[in-house]
Structure 1
Amino acid sequence: MKRLLVLLGLSVTLSCAQGKQPITGETEFQKEMNAKFKDASTSPLKDKDRKTFKGLDFFTFDSSYVVMATLKRTPNEQPFKMKTTTDRLPEYVKYGEVRFELKGTAYELNIYQNLELLDEDGYEDYLFLPFLDDTNGEKTYGGGRYIEGRIPNGDTIQIDFNTAYNPYCVYNEKYSCPIVPRDNYLALKVEAGVKSFDKH
């Protein structure tokens, strides 16, 4: 009887271990994203999508999409209400302009601060870089993607397009997501970061 209980316990343990999917990802960013999406307490996915979730679809990491940009501050900008996918209008301010070369061409994007986050611990130096590119509507979400950053000590900032991610409203319409300003369009295919999401 004792041996039977041990065997049953071993069987249950093996069954649970086999049913538990490992966290996948080529880079630390990809692993962190997949872990967040798999965890019910942090995932933006609907329950039905999370239960079958095996990992986000990423472009293969490409170091050519990691660029050093010049950050030009624009300290006299006025706060504005950024449009979102809902009626919510969060307050942002243009923090500056980032200028960089990508695939041999010079580009410029506006980078923002969310004024509502400034008083939250850990977000005092948070920067928000939304952008559009020529993969939108094909390989990536049609509304563009986001990159997060931190205020640098000097006038240069690293932008890693491999960390570009989708707005949460892509996965669940209950989220209210900032709409990428048209000024932040890159006239090339940024084949880096998270791809579009196939809903079940």
Structure 2
Amino acid sequence: MKYILSVLTLLFFISSCSQKKKPLPGETEFQKNLNAEFKDATTSPLKEKDLKTFNGLEFFNVDSNFVVNAKFVRTPDEKPFKMKTTTDRLPIYTKYGEVNFELNGKSFNLNVYQNEKLMKEEGYEDYLFLPFLDETNGLESYGGGRYLDLRIPEGNSLTIDFNNAYNPYCAYNDKYSCPIVPRINYLKTRIEAGVKNFKKY
């Protein structure tokens, strides 16, 4: 009888633990991977108190209207410059090119950049940084704008998926130093895609 009670107690404990451990939300691979990164204490930018209550980031609904085909124009004569950040750090970036695209019947243009230090690291030689601001900032999305990761295309076009837009680490923890989005990369429209503003409880 004692053995049966012990087994039942153990099964109840295991069942309770599995019920408490909710799977992290995410509609896409990008969302699932980002949530996994934030849940893992070794990779998460969250403060300790926020990590304890973290159940997943909030995203706009995935919308194919925010996946755009852009014309990619290289700008090879650009000089390196110091990009402003939220701290005194001034990383060196170079404008690599421009992307031109249409969204909701309007034409837009954004600059894309390369980080001089990062481009020398293996696996990041063709990495492009696309920071942007839009009219959801300070409302549904982070006030400081959001980022997108791109790769240098072989031709003169590339796909921009705003559903993969993410917040700077500064949106979660002020110990980080984050590039400030250049004003030239302001989109006078609402980008209702990607990560929303982080609600701290």
TM range (shorter): over 0.9
Q: Does 1:33 align with 2:34?
A: yes
Q: CA RMSD in A?
A: 1.1
In structure 2, the partner of 1:168 is 169
In structure 1, the partner of 2:68 is 67
* Amino acid paired to 1:177: C
In structure 2, the partner of 1:114 is 115
Distance in 2 separating the partners of 1:49 and 1:193: 21
Q: CA deviation at 1:119?
A: 2.0
Counterpart mapping for 1:71-90 below 5 A: 71-90=72-91
Distance in 1 separating the partners of 2:60 and 2:110: 22
Identity of aligned residues (%): 65
Q: CA deviation at 1:77?
A: 0.7
* Amino acid paired to 1:194: V
In structure 1, the partner of 2:8 is 7
Q: CA deviation at 1:47?
A: 1.3
Distance in 2 separating the partners of 1:104 and 1:63: 15
Distance in 2 separating the partners of 1:16 and 1:125: 44
Q: CA deviation at 1:21?
A: 1.5
Q: Does 1:96 align with 2:97?
A: yes
Aligned to 2:61, what secondary structure does the other structure show?
coil
Aligned to 2:163, what secondary structure does the other structure show?
helix
Distance in 1 separating the partners of 2:169 and 2:51: 14
TM-score (norm 2): 0.96
- The answer for unaligned runs of 5 or more in structure 2 is none
Distance in 1 separating the partners of 2:132 and 2:42: 28
Distance in 1 separating the partners of 2:12 and 2:123: 45
1:80-131 per-position Cα deviation (integer Å, ceiling 9, x unaligned): 1111001111111100000000111111000001111112222111110000
Distance in 2 separating the partners of 1:182 and 1:70: 21
Q: CA deviation at 1:146?
A: 0.4
TM-score (norm 1): 0.96
Aligned to 1:118, what secondary structure does the other structure show?
helix
In structure 2, the partner of 1:142 is 143
| Matched residue count | 200
Runs of 4+ in 1 over 3 A off after TM superposition: none
Distance in 1 separating the partners of 2:95 and 2:16: 52
Q: CA deviation at 1:11?
A: 2.4
